[in-house]
Chains A and B, each alone.
Chain A
Amino acid sequence: MSTSYTMQVLSAAGAGLLFGQGLIISRMIDPIKVMDFLDFTGNWDASLAFVMLGAIIVTSVGYRILFKSERPLFADLFRLPVSKDIDFKLLSGAVLFGVGWGLAGLCPGPALVNFSLGISSVLLFVISMVMGINGYRLIQSLSTQSKSPSDTQ
């Protein structure tokens, strides 16, 4: 096993832990707060917009700086999505995701962070989500063997 392979795994674990701290500190993990954020016509809680704001500011600046280097620390290249298409697939996927997000107040990151808290609706959400992901991927790989699914964000 190469050093960079081990470092990739350790880096990813660290990134996951740090990402999770951000979701917890910001309360993005609280489904009711997420629904309050999406509730524009009710008692709108705008605070979660600042999660995106903070993350986008840091990422915009950080990406700009790090893309000046030729390659990542522990890998051969920066892998970036290449698709620029704004098509029915993008929009219909975003709509389905948005409906699910609004129904449960959970998106993939917070759902995984909440998984260990032992709340039955969260456990069922995560299991269903993983089944949905794998089901779609399986159908996709059966129907289009030649296409690479690597442009997923």
Chain B
Amino acid sequence: MNELTPYLSALLGGIYIGLAVVWLMWANGRIAGISGILGGLLRLDKEEFAWRVAFILGLLGSPWLYSRVTGEQIFIYEATPVGTAVIAGVLVGIGTQIGSGCTSGHGVCGISRLSVRSVVATLTFIIAGAITVYFARHIFGVST
């Protein structure tokens, strides 16, 4: 471990994500936007439902695969009081549907297609997130 390690693992992780995004388009012709895939579940159309559930099960099962391959347990700290987590979850759920995408759909797929709409959305949610962290951490001191 040295000071470059977080940057290299971030880049490597990003490359994995890019490969998954490209694969889903190449194989299925679909945008790998997590909020879009989740949102489309509600349509309950058989053709639509199965691949969406499969993708989500893949995400849910990925810590298991990671631990199988590396022998490492994944550990993260609890970062948010439960009340805040509920509010945040609802905002993320509603916001991604109104704004038609999240970090993956706009931030990766959309920007890669040079969609101006996605560039604007991504800058907007990063700025909104930064302002939120600023208030939560430095003004109110409620966040870790």
Contact = CB atoms under 8 A, between A and B. Distances in A.
Contacts of B80: 31, 103-105, 121, 125
Contact of A20 (B61, B132, B138): B61
Contacts of A51: 10-11, 13-14, 17
Dominant secondary structure of chain B at its interface with chain A: helix
Interface residues of B, number: 113
A8 B82 contact: no
Interface size class of A (residues with CB under 8 A): 35 or more
B99 A90 contact: yes
A101 B65 contact: no
Contacts, number: 503
Interface of A: 5, 7-32, 35, 38-42, 45, 47-60, 62-63, 66, 71-81, 83-86, 89-109, 111-117, 119-122, 124-138, 140-141, 149, 151-153
28 contacts: A11-B23, A12-B27, A15-B20, A20-B59, A22-B14, A27-B10, A47-B6, A52-B107, A59-B108, A62-B25, A63-B112, A71-B29, A72-B26, A90-B100, A91-B121, A91-B124, A94-B95, A94-B120, A96-B91, A96-B128, A100-B92, A106-B92, A121-B80, A125-B92, A133-B38, A137-B42, A140-B97, A149-B39
